[in-house]
Copies of this chain bind each other. A is one copy, B any other.
Amino acid sequence: MNPFTDLAEIETPALLIDLDVMEANLASMTAFLTMHGIAQRPNIKGHKIPALAWRQVRAGAMGITCQKLSEAEVMVDAGLPDVLIAVQVIGAAKVDRLLKLARRAKLTTVVDSLAGAEPIARAFASSGMTIDVLLEIDIGYHRCGVDGRGAPALARSLSQLPGLNLVGVMGYEGHLYDLSGKGAVEAAARESYEMLTRVANGLRNAGIEVPRVSIGASAGARAAVDVRGITEVRAGSYLFNDRAQIKMGSAEPATCAATVMATVISVPTETRAVIDAGAKALTPTMVGGMPGYGDILGHEDAVLDRLSDEHGMISVGATRNPFNVGDRVRIIPNSHTVVFNQFPEVHGVREGRVEAVMPVAARAMMG
């Protein structure tokens, strides 16, 4: 595809990025966190595109965060120099890959158990290397992470392992996604961040150095500056936003940069239209309290209320069906991260024209 192609010439379903909106989101978050002296280490799991990771670093991020070791390998291949892998690296083959990758870039990884940490420590120590690690604390999402009571003993054990360099604590406030509205979300975020800073201070009182205190979610980022002691924010969703961010009060449709463009392939009745984007383009993830699988731009009274694998079914309601076979629609998805993972490439769009086509290079990196 030539750059500056007209949008009408792109085949559907296609994933579009409004570059003006994305750039404004990037500038806004960067300015805010920089002003408050908090380090940015954006999680690139949302877009998986090295060129966009580089834009975030050039804008001021000190490094990036990846979820998967395989994503980190792609990003290091693209020259990104400083990468946090925010999911536990478990298993001999993965530890070996981690060691190889650490020869090529500055890495940090996370641990929440001795069983997980010891193989990493052994591998690095026997190669005469050390790796920075963050101890993961459960700050309310109840996924990985030890609770505050378990932290000091584990931190002490970790700090005695050769090959590991315990540099701080991290938490992920995924439970914010269950809440609605800025007030509730930021109150819960502050509570989580205070929990994390309490743990950090407890470790310091026990004589353990804790320079890094890292939190994760975009929806909480603005609350993070209110909590003394948070040093690092891994927020990534802010770059594109989606319906989940709208529900949490941290975005509105005008700040959502990623849309799926689809074609109406059937208008079987006055109250239904069918598009060529289903669960394999959008995502079956629901957003609590919001009907359907996305906002159809310009059709606020229509609901994308069912998805099968390759079809999306739109309920039109009582008005006359505004859709015709061949029409194109653009949809703000519920969760952009699964959507990016399904598209081989994204189209960067400005003023109705395609300015760049970017491969989603770290797409479908499994482990």
Contacts and interface: CB of A to CB of B under 8 A. Distances in A.
A283 B284 contact: yes
B143 A87 contact: no
A105 interface: no
Given A11-B93, A266-B112, A268-B146, A276 B367 contact: yes
Contacts of A276: 87-88, 90, 367
Contact of A266 (B116, B285, B344): B116
Interface stretch (A180-188, A219-227, A303-311): A303-311
A263 interface: yes
B364 A280 contact: yes
Per CB-CB distance, the 5 closest pairs between chain A and chain B, nearest first, are A115-B325, A144-B266, A88-B265, A90-B265, A67-B310
Interface string A244-288: 000000000000000000011111100010101001110111000
Interface string A136-153: 101000111111000000
A265 B144 contact: yes
Interface string A292-329: 00000000000000101111010000000000111000
A45 interface: yes
Tell me whether chain A's interface is mostly helix, strand or loop, or mixed: loop
A143 B279 contact: no
Contact size range, A: 35 or more
B68 A310 contact: yes
A198 interface: no
A13 interface: yes
Q: How many copies does the complex hold?
A: 2
A341 B338 contact: no
Q: Which of A113, A142, A266, A326 counts the most chain B CB atoms within 10 A?
A: A266
Interface in A4-21: 9, 11-14
Contact of A324 (B87, B112, B115, B343): B115
Contacts of A14: 366
A309 B217 CA distance: 13
B267 A113 contact: yes
A267 B136 CA distance: 12
A264 B325 CA distance: 48
Contact of A91 (B136, B174, B263, B285): B263
Nearest to A327: B90
Given A283-B284, A343-B366, A144 B87 contact: no
Contacts of A115: 267, 324-326
Contacts of A197: none
Interface string A328-367: 0000000001100111100000000000000000011011
Contact of A308 (B112, B136, B174, B309): B174
Contacts of A113: 266-267, 325
Contacts of A116: 265-266, 325-326
B311 A87 contact: yes
A145 B313 CA distance: 12
A265 B87 contact: yes
Given A364-B342, A364-B343, A366-B343, A268 B144 contact: yes
16 contacts: A11-B93, A45-B310, A67-B310, A88-B265, A90-B325, A115-B325, A143-B268, A143-B274, A143-B313, A144-B265, A144-B266, A174-B308, A284-B284, A284-B285, A309-B338, A343-B366
A100 interface: no
